């Protein structure tokens, strides 16, 4: 989706406002609760990480730009739970329980937290298909504009780059976000010269590398 989240190359947002090395980890107590709820409810297995990213990134751009990052997470969490019948929109607005809970196969207990965090969610999958590309191959990022979730940023689409790294076969977010399965594909790092992306006025010392799944790429002969 060409949504608000796909920001690479947009202009006019102003300077980066950093707060130094000792920036507080949270800027309000509620942010901690949103982080923790997102991780804990995520661990109940009602959705995958791509669905969760998609829920945030499909916010209409005016909302996406207006919200702080943890507000975006809050909005994504509410949406995912409502979609799955875990809570209702009325319950979110009322702030109290109005209907019985959905039965969940598991919840995250405090005892399980260290192991769940240590395990993480690796996305590499076994695969015996050979890689279509090798290091040094020239490839074009497809000119595509899917309406659903994708991880191919707009600013590289249509541009030619070079295969730089091969990462093995990984879960494909575009299908996984839609509940259409993991459909694992080869994942590559593709390096683009700055001038290929931004034109002849661009910084000649710049290159930008993105991670791209096989179906995002076409060979350049």
Partner 1 sequence: MAHDHDHHHHDHDHGTILSDVELRVRALESVLVEKGYVDPAALDLLIETYETKVGPHNGAHVVARAWSDPAYRDWLLKDATAAIQSLGYIGRQGEHMVAVENTPTLHNMVVCTLCSCYPWPVLGLPPVWYKSAPYRSRAVMDPRGVLQDFGVTLPDGKQIKVWDSTAEVRYLVLPERPAGTEGWSEERLATLVTRDSMIGTGIARVPA
Determine if 186 is a binding residue for partner 1 (CB under 8 A). no
Task: Give the number of other Cβ atoms within 10 Å of residue 52's Cβ.
Answer: 20
Looking at the DSSP bridge assignments, the partners of residue 186 are 169
CA separation for the pair 131, 216 (Å, rounded): 14
Among positions 85, 89, 109, 218, the unique one binding partner 1 when judged by CB under 8 A: 109
CA separation for the pair 24, 18 (Å, rounded): 11
Determine if 106 is a binding residue for partner 1 (CB under 8 A). no
The residue written with tokens 């979110």 in the block is 92
Determine if 141 is a binding residue for partner 1 (CB under 8 A). no
Using CB under 8 A, which residues numbered 20 to 79 contact partner 1?
A: 21, 23, 25-37, 39-41, 44, 53, 56-57, 64-72, 74, 77-78
Query: Which residues have C-beta within 8 Å of that of residue 12, sequence separation ≥ 6?
Result: none
59, 3 contact by CB (below 8 A): yes
Determine if 128 is a binding residue for partner 1 (CB under 8 A). no
Residue 221 beta carbon to partner 1: minimum distance, rounded to whole angstroms: 25
- Structure tokens belonging to residue 60: 């209409």
Kindly state the number of chain residues that form the binding site for partner 1, as judged by CB under 8 A.
Answer: 100
Determine if 90 is a binding residue for partner 1 (CB under 8 A). no
The residue written with tokens 């600013």 in the block is 155
At residue 102, what are phi and psi to the nearest 5 degrees?
-80, 145
- Of the pair 94, 220, the CB lying nearest partner 1 is at 94
Determine if 126 is a binding residue for partner 1 (CB under 8 A). no
Residue 73 to residues 38, 56, 138, Cα–Cα distance (Å): 7, 6, 37
Using CB under 8 A, which residues numbered 165 to 184 contact partner 1?
A: 165, 167, 170-171, 173
CA separation for the pair 24, 81 (Å, rounded): 29
- Of the pair 16, 221, the CB lying nearest partner 1 is at 16
At residue 63, what are phi and psi to the nearest 5 degrees?
-70, -40
Determine if 122 is a binding residue for partner 1 (CB under 8 A). yes
Among positions 89, 97, 144, 220, the unique one binding partner 1 when judged by CB under 8 A: 97
Among positions 62, 105, 119, 147, the unique one binding partner 1 when judged by CB under 8 A: 119
Determine if 144 is a binding residue for partner 1 (CB under 8 A). no
Determine if 143 is a binding residue for partner 1 (CB under 8 A). no
């Amino acid at each position: 989706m060409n949504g608000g989240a796909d920001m690479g190359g947009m202009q006019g947002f102003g300077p980066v406002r950093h707060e130094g090395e000792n920036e507080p980890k949270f800027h309000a107590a509620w942010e901690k609760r949103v982080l923790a709820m997102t991780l804990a409810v995520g661990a109940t297995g009602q959705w995958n990480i791509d669905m969760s990213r998609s829920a945030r990134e499909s916010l209409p751009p005016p909302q996406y730009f207006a919200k702080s990052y943890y507000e975006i997470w809050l909005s994504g969490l509410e949406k995912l739970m409502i979609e799955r019948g875990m809570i209702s929109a009325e319950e979110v607005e009322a702030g109290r329980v109005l209907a019985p809970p959905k039965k969940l196969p598991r919840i995250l207990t405090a005892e399980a937290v260290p192991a769940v965090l240590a395990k993480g969610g690796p996305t590499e999958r076994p695969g015996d298909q050979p890689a279509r590309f090798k290091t040094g191959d020239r490839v074009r990022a497809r000119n595509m504009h899917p309406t659903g979730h994708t991880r191919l940023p707009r600013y590289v689409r249509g541009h030619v780059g070079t295969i730089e790294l091969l990462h093995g076969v990984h879960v494909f977010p575009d299908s996984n976000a839609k509940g259409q399965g993991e459909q694992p594909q080869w994942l590559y790092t593709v390096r683009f010269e700055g001038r290929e992306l931004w034109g002849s006025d661009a910084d000649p010392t710049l290159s930008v590398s993105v991670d791209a799944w096989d179906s995002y790429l076409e060979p350049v002969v």
